[in-house]
Amino acid sequence: MNAVSIRNVTKTYGSHRAVDNLSLEVPTGSLYGFIGPNGSGKTTTIRMILRIIQPDQGSIRVFDSEGGSAANDQVGYLPEERGLYKKLSVRRMLKYYASLKGLSSRECELQTNRWLEHFEASEWANKKIESLSKGMSQKVQFIASIIAAPKLLILDEPFSGLDPVNAESIRAAILQLRAEGTTIIFSTHDMAVAEKMCDYIFMIFRGDKVLDGTLESIKAEYGADTVRLRFNGPRESLSVLPGVQRVTDMGEYQELQFNGDPQAILSRLCEQGSISLFEIAQPSLHDIFIRIAGEDSQAALAEGAAS
Amino acid sequence: MNKILTVARTEYMIAVTSKAFVVGVIMMPVFMCGAFVVQLLTRDQVDLTARKLAVVDRTGQMFEKLDSAAQQRNEYGIYKSDEDPDAEGDSANRKQVAAKFELERVDSSAANAELEAELSERVKAQELFAFAIIDEDILAPGTPGKVRYHSQTPTYQTQYRWLQRTINELVRQHRLKELEIAPESFAAIASGVEVEERGLVEANSDGTGQETKKLDKIATLAVPFGGIMLMFVMIMSVAPAMLNNVLEEKMQKISEFLVSSLTPFQLMLGKLVGAVWVALTLATIYIAAAIFLANYFDFSDNIPIHLYFWFVFYLFIALTIFGALFSAIGAACSELRDAQSLMTPVMLMVVMPMMCIAPVLDSPSSTFAKLVSLFPPATPMLMFARMALPPGPAAWEIALGTVLSIAFAGFCVYAAGKVFRIGILSQGQTPTFGKLLKWIFTK
Q: Does B22 touch chain A (CB under 8 A)?
A: no
Region of B94 on the Ramachandran plot (φ > 0 left; ψ -120 to 50 alpha; else beta): beta
> How far does the CA of residue A13 sit from the closest CA of chain B (Å)?
11
B316 compared with B306, residue with greater pLDDT: B316
Buried b (16+ CB within 10 A) or exposed e, A10-25: ebeeeeebbbbebebb
> Which residues from A are below 8 Å from B429, CB to CB?
none
Structure confidence at residue A188 as a pLDDT band (50, 70, 90): confident
At residue B83, the pLDDT reads 52
Let me know how many helices (H) and strands (E) chain B has, helices first: 17, 4
Give the least confident one: A12-21, B178-187, B224-233, B422-431: B422-431
At residue B70, the pLDDT reads 95
pLDDT above 50 (res B29): yes
Structure confidence at residue B91 as a pLDDT band (50, 70, 90): low
Q: Which of A75, A87, A102 sits opposite B260 (nearest CB)?
A: A75
Q: What domains lie within chain B, and their CATH numbers?
A: 51-184 (3.40.190), 218-441 (no CATH)
Q: Which of B10, B256, B259 sits opposite A81 (nearest CB)?
A: B256
Mention every residue, 6+ apart, whose C-beta is less than 8 A from residue B430. Answer: B332, B333, B334, B338, B339, B341, B342
> Which residues from B are below 8 Å from A144, CB to CB?
257
Structure confidence at residue A270 as a pLDDT band (50, 70, 90): confident
Q: Does B2 touch chain A (CB under 8 A)?
A: yes
Q: Does A67 touch chain B (CB under 8 A)?
A: no
Q: Which of B3, B14, B425 sits opposite A100 (nearest CB)?
A: B3
At residue B85, the pLDDT reads 47
- Residue B10 to residue A96, Cβ atoms within 8 A: yes
> How far does the CA of residue B253 sit from the closest CA of chain A (Å)?
5
Q: Does B172 touch chain A (CB under 8 A)?
A: no
- Residue B254 to residue A85, Cβ atoms within 8 A: yes
pLDDT above 60 (res A306): no
- Taking CA atoms, B407 is separated from B311, B375, B379, B412, in Å, by 18, 12, 12, 9
At residue B122, the pLDDT reads 94
At residue B443, the pLDDT reads 67
How many other CB atoms are there within 10 angstroms of residue B176's CB atom? 15
At residue A192, the pLDDT reads 84
> What residue segments make up the domains of chain A, in order of their start?
2-219, 222-306
> How far does the CA of residue A69 sit from the closest CA of chain B (Å)?
7
Distance CA B435, CA B441 (A): 10
Q: Does B38 touch chain A (CB under 8 A)?
A: no
Distance CA A130, CA A133 (A): 8
- Residue B6 to residue A100, Cβ atoms within 8 A: yes
> How far does the CA of residue A129 sit from the closest CA of chain B (Å)?
13
- Taking CA atoms, B349 is separated from A181, B235, B403, in Å, by 55, 11, 19
The share of chain B scoring above pLDDT 70, in percent, equals 90
Q: CATH number of the domain at A222-306, please? A: 3.30.70
Radius of gyration of chain B (CA): 32
CB < 8 Å from A in window 258-287 of B:
258-264, 266
> Which residues from B are below 8 Å from A89, CB to CB?
none
Distance CA B211, CA B102 (A): 55
Arithmetic mean of pLDDT over chain B:
85
- Residue B6 to residue A96, Cβ atoms within 8 A: yes
Could you tell me if the ipTM is greater than 0.90?
no
Q: Which of A69, A79, A101 sits opposite B253 (nearest CB)?
A: A79
Pairing of strands A2-13, A57-62: antiparallel
- Residue A79 to residue B425, Cβ atoms within 8 A: no
pLDDT tens digits, one per residue of A57-69: 999 988 877 765 5
- Residue A79 to residue B256, Cβ atoms within 8 A: yes
> How far does the CA of residue B318 sit from the closest CA of chain A (Å)?
28
- Residue B262 to residue A82, Cβ atoms within 8 A: no
Give the least confident one: A257-261, B51-55, B56-60, B190-194: A257-261
Counted residue by residue, chain B has a size of 443
At residue B422, the pLDDT reads 83
> DSSP alpha helices (H): ranges in B17-98?
19-22, 28-42, 63-72
Picking from A272, A91, A284, the residue whose alpha carbon sits closest to that of residue A195 is A284
Buried b (16+ CB within 10 A) or exposed e, A117-152: ebbebeebbeeebeebeebbbbbbbbbbbbbbbbbb
Residue of B nearest to A72 (CA): B261
> Which residues from A are below 8 Å from B256, CB to CB?
52, 79, 81, 83
A/B interface, count of CB pairs below 8 Å? 62
Q: Does A88 touch chain B (CB under 8 A)?
A: yes
Pairing of strands B130-134, B147-151: antiparallel
The share of chain A scoring above pLDDT 90, in percent, equals 11
> Which residues from B are below 8 Å from A79, CB to CB?
253, 256-257, 260
pLDDT above 70 (res A298): no
pLDDT tens digits, one per residue of B36-86: 788 777 766 778 899 999 999 999 889 999 999 999 999 888 887 645 544
- Residue B261 to residue A144, Cβ atoms within 8 A: no
The share of chain A scoring above pLDDT 70, in percent, equals 94
pLDDT above 80 (res A104): yes
pLDDT tens digits, one per residue of A203-247: 888 888 888 889 888 888 877 788 888 988 887 788 888 888 888
> Which residues from B are below 8 Å from A47, CB to CB?
425
pLDDT above 60 (res A81): yes
Q: CATH number of the domain at A2-219, please? A: 3.40.50.300
pLDDT tens digits, one per residue of B392-434: 889 999 999 999 999 999 999 999 998 888 888 777 777 788 8
Most A CBs within 10 A among B17, B260, B267, B425, hence the mutation to make, goes to: B260
Q: Does B5 touch chain A (CB under 8 A)?
A: no
> How far does the CA of residue A70 sit from the closest CA of chain B (Å)?
9
Distance CA A84, CA A163 (A): 20
Q: Does B256 touch chain A (CB under 8 A)?
A: yes
At residue A240, the pLDDT reads 83
CB < 8 Å from B in window 154-193 of A:
154
B252 compared with A19, residue with greater pLDDT: A19
Half-sphere exposure of B43 (CA within 13 A, CB side): 8
Arithmetic mean of pLDDT over chain A:
84
- Residue B259 to residue A52, Cβ atoms within 8 A: yes
Mention every residue, 6+ apart, whose C-beta is less than 8 A from residue A267. Answer: none
pLDDT above 90 (res B381): yes
> Do B37 and B302 meet the contact criterion of CB atoms below 8 Å apart?
no
Q: Does A84 touch chain B (CB under 8 A)?
A: yes
Picking from B184, B131, B163, the residue whose alpha carbon sits closest to that of residue B65 is B163
- Residue B2 to residue A96, Cβ atoms within 8 A: no
pLDDT tens digits, one per residue of B120-138: 999 999 999 999 999 988 8
Q: Does A301 touch chain B (CB under 8 A)?
A: no
Structure confidence at residue B210 as a pLDDT band (50, 70, 90): low
